[in-house]
Amino acid sequence: MVTFDDGRLMCERAYNGSHLADVKDKRTFKFVTKILQASGSYWTGLNDRSQEGKFVYSDGSQMSAYSEWGNGNSQPTSNDPMKNCVIMDGSAAFMWSVVDCNEKHLALCALKRG
């Protein structure tokens, strides 16, 4: 288990061009959740570290309309400035949750093809 920054570095060092995974659509969500352990929680690349409430993916792109916050909203229910990094929580059907970036979770890496 690693912090968000350690997970980001771990993914980047694993293979040139790899990064924390960005789950931008339902198809990706379904694919990823089939291979993850329900007992784990996993860092994604999604975060609002630069500007509170403005989520961006690890590739720098803006958050799409798709989300899995689990509350039916397009944004998380909490805008706590101390919580800026997003996990997929296996104990909650992999719904997204914004947590403190210094918490320790498993890292979900996406490898670049090519």
pLDDT in tens, 89-98: 999 999 999 9
pLDDT in tens, 62-96: 998 889 987 666 677 667 788 999 999 999 999 99
Mean pLDDT taken over the chain:
90
Which comes out higher in pLDDT, residue 56 or 81?
56
Domain count within the chain:
1
Domain interval for residue 35: 4-110
**CATH code of the domain in which 76 resides:** 3.10.100.10
CA atoms of 56 and 62, how far apart (whole Å): 5
Helix or strand holding residue 9 (H, E) = helix 4-14
Helix or strand holding residue 89 (H, E) = strand 85-89
In the DSSP assignment, the letter for residue 70 is S
pLDDT of residue 80: 79
**10: pLDDT confidence band, cut at 50, 70 and 90?**
very high
